[in-house]
Amino acid sequence: MADILIVYYSRKGENYWNGGLKTIAKGNTERVAEFIQKAVGGDLFEVDTVKPYSDSYMTCIEEAKQELRSKARPEIKAFPENFDDYDTIFVGYPNWWGTMPMCMFTLLEKFDLTGKTIIPFCTNEGSGMGSSERDLKNLCNGAVLKPGLSIHGSEAENSESKVAEWAKNSI
């Protein structure tokens, strides 16, 4: 079992893209997660919610805003197996309303992260990491939190070299 786990939530379908909406077959965060795996190895785990978000991007972000405001913990379909076997965990997500989607809180709150290295990455259309690194620091008690990487979503497909260099330097 690899000691690196790359967990991520990613949205495919209708997405915000350079000021407009565009339908994409593969989510931006998923692309970045795959670039990390290619650069440093490890296992991929995609977080999927039991109740799907709306296919409409505009409706989806309103759903996400309500989850954030209510501090919801959306149920997810599965959790990574053998979580304790991993020392280094890359945590990826789109930046929604300044932080991670609430399903990532659901995932991370399930585990004791003491002694683990957490390395965040996010995709966004201009909001950077937002408060997600602070939120992760509060959420991941006892873990070492490394500096995150923010990738402009519409540039994710062409970010492999930037992502690979960052990932290699982060472990």
Q: How far apart are CA 109 and CA 121, in angstroms?
A: 18
Average pLDDT over every residue of 67-74: 97
The answer to whether residues 105 and 24 touch, using CB atoms and an 8 Å cutoff, is no
Percent of the chain with pLDDT over 90: 95
Q: Which residue from 54, 56, 116 is spatially nearest to 80, judged by alpha carbons?
A: 116
Domains, in order of start, for the chain: 4-170 (3.40.50.360)
Q: How far apart are CA 21 and CA 3, in angstroms?
A: 38
User: CB under 8 Å to 165, separation ≥6 — which residues?
Assistant: none
Q: What is the pLDDT of residues 26-54, one digit of tens each?
A: 999 999 999 999 999 999 999 999 999 99
The answer to whether residues 74 and 67 touch, using CB atoms and an 8 Å cutoff, is yes
Q: What is the pLDDT of residues 114-131, one digit of tens each?
A: 999 999 999 999 899 999
The tokens for 170 are: 């982060």
pTM of the model: 0.96
Q: Could you say which DSSP state residue 94 is in?
A: E
The answer to whether residues 133 and 103 touch, using CB atoms and an 8 Å cutoff, is no
The chain-wide mean pLDDT, for the chain, equals 96
